[in-house]
Structure 1
């Protein structure tokens, strides 16, 4: 694990809103060259913690640090050079083309067209560059928005920000299986290029394929943290999701989840 001073981290985060405690001492570290995945049931605080880390939400307690700097002291422009964010959904009100949406991630200047083309190629949308964004399917829009974050990261690296950090909130939610695997491969490739990646994923089997580290949240607290092998156990996953769970082992020696109700006699047709 790289030294903490080279990481992007949320430390002991507390967040209250509307009389509710949304995060209770939660924390996560995004390290260069690694993929971390947040898991947990609905309402556990995964997206909220990601928003605190990105700077979108200000915590009631704790701190977010990017290297040695507190994120609260960084201006929006500097923060944008260091990290890119893909939220669950992005509304685009204007009649932009696919290429124009992706170009939003890059400051005006030389090399913009090439950067947009490279990013669209990485998400297999290069041939759709001139099409109207609004006519795309939900999954296609998601891939275009992912390309936008890639352009932003590349621009930040060119301006001295290093490989940067990518924060993804349910990036596979609206994608078919082939495109889910495309996103997972891209996450791993970006990590190999030095990017620190954090993703919220609901599909635990996809989380296992992508993650160097899995961080499990429940009721705003981190209840487990470790490698997929360490976190994915019958007892831990069963307790986290309140369902009987059975962990199997794939040929690649990776754990995978089978909900217990679909195992054994209950699965017979």
Structure 2
């Protein structure tokens, strides 16, 4: 896939599997958001194909696709003064948007007492969690366990809420949901991912477990900085204080 004569994606491929968390990482301009939109069905690849359960996404009607996968983009604009409950309920398939579904989703993102709040009056992090609740409602009212695609889901959240989202991603994977997330924070990626796919200049530079991908050499190759990867927790971690350009 290309735009303006520049290749945005070049042979990049990702497999999102039920019950597993796959995380896309890479520097700015690596093609993460483009690949995310292609996998979500928002953009069609110029070459190759995206399939869901063996069916080309291009052959699926939007209503059917919405029952199979939910998408959480980086930002969502709401044009009307909806309540939190109404925004979360947007994700429900016809006949499935019961208050019980919606309140259960809001509780999972720790917004149980805010159903009647005006969405426009919320902080950026609270809005992000409402949108995540909307995606949960969509998954619950869809077909099977489904797939959840998240583009920078922790970007506007404080530390406690970042950990909440990571724990929820692991819970959903344990329930059989296939999860794909774009993350810039490599420590969060290491904490949550079963598989990390690293992109650079539209190509897959590496894929594997966090321990296989997050190495000194690979980070230097991807980001152009020299770091030391540590292993004090059970997963690799990166200290930005140790970086050198």
* TM bracket, shorter-chain basis: over 0.9
- 1:211: Cα distance to partner? 0.1
SS in 1 for 2:103: helix
| Separation in 1, partners of 2:28, 2:183 | 11
The number of residue pairs the alignment matches comes to 244
Residue in structure 1 matched with residue 235 of structure 2 by the alignment: 254
SS in 2 for 1:214: strand
| Separation in 2, partners of 1:225, 1:83 | 23
Q: Deviations over 1:78-109 (max 9, x none)?
A: 11110000000000010000000000000332
| Separation in 2, partners of 1:92, 1:99 | 13
SS in 1 for 2:71: strand
- 1:111: Cα distance to partner? 5.6
Give structure 2 stretches of 5+ with no counterpart: none
Q: Deviations over 1:171-224 (max 9, x none)?
A: 000000000000000000000000000000000000000000000000100000
- 1:68: Cα distance to partner? 1.1
Give structure 1 stretches of 5+ with no counterpart: 1-14
Q: Deviations over 1:25-71 (max 9, x none)?
A: 10111000000000000110111101000100011111100011111
| Separation in 2, partners of 1:182, 1:110 | 26
Q: Pick from 195, 211, 221: which aligns with 2:177?
A: 195
Q: Could you say what the CA RMSD is over the residues aligned between the two structures, in angstroms?
A: 1.3
Q: Relative to structure 1, is the Cα distance of residues 87 and 234 closer, same or farther in structure 2, using a 3 angstrom cutoff?
A: same
Stretch moving more, 16-25 or 182-191: 16-25
| Separation in 1, partners of 2:96, 2:151 | 30
Q: Which has the higher contact order (CA 8 A, sep 6+)?
A: 2
Residue in structure 1 matched with residue 189 of structure 2 by the alignment: 207
Are residues 1:221 and 2:203 paired? Answer: yes
| Separation in 2, partners of 1:174, 1:120 | 18
Residue in structure 2 matched with residue 163 of structure 1 by the alignment: 145
Structure richer in strand, relative to its length: 1
| Separation in 2, partners of 1:173, 1:135 | 19
| TM score, norm. by length of structure 2 | 0.97
| TM score, norm. by length of structure 1 | 0.89
| Separation in 1, partners of 2:19, 2:171 | 9
